[in-house]
A and B are shown apart, each in its own frame.
Chain A
């Protein structure tokens, strides 16, 4: 299947970040980027959304120092 840019943008809507968190840190709320990309910060919630939508997850670890 040839995937066009339209497909990719559509996929990005749910291919969001779901870095897990615990141990005395507050989970950030999901962040919307220009209404197109929803970055989440809860891995288990990401798995649930992925299961519900049938879309893969894009899991990013990044340093914000």
Chain B
């Protein structure tokens, strides 16, 4: 991201892959990328990319760039990742000077933290329409594949097979186009959807309930790491044989500690090879990333948490005291 104008290229910086189709002036036809929590490539596939390429070529021929709006602003000035006040200090600790996409969000979060304005819910950027109950067809990404029951989309009358043509007046062709509109949608309120059904265009209003952006498993987001304390250890989920020996089922928490780096973790008495079977009252199965994200988003620096570990035949209750401030 070195030198990229982030006023022009605004997208989900927690992603590892994102694309734009543009004209020579840098005006966007369509975005392509994005993901659901459960799969980094949920909406990346050859068929949909070819479809979007055809649409981009058609729009290019018709001069159909997205009109200037808050969703696709025309950057009149340049602002780069290097301009974020915390970026220089952050990069000084690195051997390499390449600014990754997630570094942009991390540096921004660090800046907000310095200002005392960082909030945990800020991690849920560029939400998927699935947060409103709309499951998109991964191949034809403006087509509704499924509508979740008891969701804002269901209440608004969105149906399977509907073609979503616009949100808040913005043309949307892909998951990434929709997430861009949803990124700027309010915390609560309403949002107008334009859908095509049986060759007729319909308009419907979706309610945005409190907390609608909050997804079930944000552990793939690097940026969670700035929002709360770390366990200070890394580990791996126990396999079937290990669970059998521990007497635990596949739905039980069982993370084998493989690496400890934090002083507060060492002080808790935890050791490499221990199995964590409960942490802060959580006993259901998690990956180490999910365990970390749980602490980042549900606990604060200065908190004390309880753990239960298995070491050989023994089960031990431990306590971990996080320092009052993040060491980073």
Q: Which residues of A contact B (CB under 8 A)?
A: 1, 3, 7-8, 11-12, 15, 19-25, 43, 47-48, 50-51, 55-63, 65
- 19 extra interchain contacts, Cβ-Cβ under 8 A, other than A56-B23, A57-B20? A1-B58, A1-B61, A20-B3, A22-B2, A22-B82, A23-B2, A23-B3, A23-B80, A23-B97, A23-B99, A47-B25, A48-B24, A56-B57, A58-B19, A58-B53, A61-B17, A61-B101, A63-B15, A63-B16
Number of chain B residues close to chain A: CB under 8 A:
36
Chain-A contact segment, one of B4-12, B137-145, B193-201, B227-235? B4-12
Q: Does B50 contact A (CB under 8 A)?
A: yes
For the complex, give the distance between the alpha carbons of A23 and B5 in Å: 13
- In the assembled complex, 25 residue pairs joining A and B whose CB atoms fall closer than 8 Å, in A order, are A1-B58, A3-B57, A8-B50, A8-B54, A11-B53, A21-B2, A22-B3, A22-B82, A23-B2, A25-B2, A43-B4, A47-B24, A48-B24, A50-B22, A50-B23, A55-B60, A59-B20, A59-B22, A60-B18, A61-B9, A61-B101, A62-B17, A63-B15, A63-B17, A63-B102
Task: Report the minimum CB–CB distance from B143 to chain A (whole Å).
Answer: 20
B237 interface contact, C-beta 8 A: no
Q: Considering only CB atoms, which chain B residue lies closest to A49 in the complex?
A: B24
Closest 8 CB pairs of A and B: A22-B3, A63-B16, A50-B24, A51-B24, A56-B60, A23-B2, A59-B20, A20-B4
